[in-house]
Amino acid sequence: MVLLIGTNDIGLARRSGQDAAAGVTAVVAKLKEKAPQARILLMAITPKGRGQDRVEAANKIICKLHDGKQVFYQDISAALRKTPGCIADRVGHLTSKGFEVWADEIRPTLKELME
């Protein structure tokens, strides 16, 4: 599974980083319960214009869900920031270019997890 959630919690709902992280943590726990054999690639919440401090706070919490067995955390923020035209809006939604960068960044990880 590839899981990218939390963007709207911070951007549209204006929740705190801690609240957004609590939601992500709850979803990961439910996925682990419902699909204990699955490997979960948990993506960092994408960067945005406003609310970046809340994104960073949330990512500092959710990165700790990485256990190297079932949950694997990956942050592609640097790649998205260095490639112009990846972020569509201040909320952090990706453009088609952003999705291309995302695919390129996670491809090696997915290949490794599927072996």
What distance in Å separates the CA atoms of residue 30 and residue 26, rounded to the nearest whole number?
6
End-to-end CA distance of the chain: 14
| CATH topology (fold) of 2-113 | Rossmann fold (3.40.50)
pLDDT tens digits, residue range 8-39?
Answer: 888 766 788 999 999 999 999 999 999 999 99
pLDDT tops 70 at residue 97: yes
